[in-house]
Amino acid sequence: MWGSVRQGAGRPDGTDDVTERQFVSHSGGFIPIVAVYLLVALIVFAGRSGLHTMVIPAEAAALFAGAAGGGALAPAVDVPIPAMIAVVLLSGLAASAAGYTAGHRLGPPALGWRVLIVRRERLLQAHRYLAHSVRSALFLGPFTGFRRQVMPALAGITALPYRRFLAWTGLGTATWTLLFVGLGTLASRHAQGITRITAGVFLLAVLSLVAADFTVWRLRTR
């Protein structure tokens, strides 16, 4: 009897046990939420800027963001979908802006020797595509791995007006973000078991790759 009365009774300040548990859950999950935001932002930025060779593509991070927003990490972390969309979108735009700035200031060396020498033919194709169809090249650039890494730098090298570049790249990035985050959210709601396992494997893979990358970097700097 006392247990039922205690469970259903409200507190003097107007809150109840359920509200308190929800508050504790959200406040206690602040640090994990920030960690998820940073993880997704770094992978999307690195994968789209081409500043680092990423084993995990940016699409995987966007799918993970959508799955996390759809509840794949619940009850450990409650991640709102609008926040994940904003993180992925802003990270992609920041990567594109960084590529444009590097190309505008450094010229062709901003692309790196690997692209200039090993992938020269693909680079020339991307340059011709940008020259003949600026709008579609910038809009569709985020959807292909190689072009999304070189198109911003090529736009900067060719002195394309930044407002024009940002408008079409921003539209393509927004479409790319909504597509992959939406697919991740849809998967998390229709296949929760599989999605939770996949999200866990994704986190373990990222942590393992970061640890391996750090180890290799330490060995090279000795």
- b/e 84-99 (16+ beta carbons within 10 angstroms → b): bbebbbebbbbbbbbb
Give the CA angle between residues 185, 152, 46 to the nearest 5°: 50
User: Would you state the pLDDT for residue 184?
Assistant: 87
User: Using 50, 70 and 90 to split pLDDT, how confident is the model at 207?
Assistant: low
**Host H or E run for residue 19:** helix 17-28
How many residues does this entry show for the chain?
Answer: 222
**Side chain identity at 106, as an amino acid letter?**
L
What mean pLDDT is reported for the chain?
77
Structure tokens of 102?
């590097």
Q: Are 199 and 111 in contact (CB under 8 A)?
A: no
Residue 117: C-alpha distances to residues 8, 54, 128 (Å) = 71, 20, 17
User: pTM (2 decimals)?
Assistant: 0.73
CA distance 4 to 203: 41
Query: What pLDDT is attached to residue 58?
Result: 85
Cβ(100)–Cβ(155) below 8 Å: yes
Highest mean pLDDT among 14-18, 61-65, 83-87, 191-195: 83-87
Rounded alpha-carbon distances, angstroms, from residue 83 to 38, 69, 74, 122: 12, 8, 16, 36
Per the model's pLDDT, the better-predicted residue between 109 and 76 turns out to be: 109
- Residue 194 is predicted with a pLDDT of 63
Q: How many percent of the chain have pLDDT more than 70?
A: 66
Q: What single letter denotes the amino acid at residue 76?
A: A
Give residue-wise pLDDT tens across range 164-202: 999 999 999 999 999 999 998 888 877 666 666 666 666
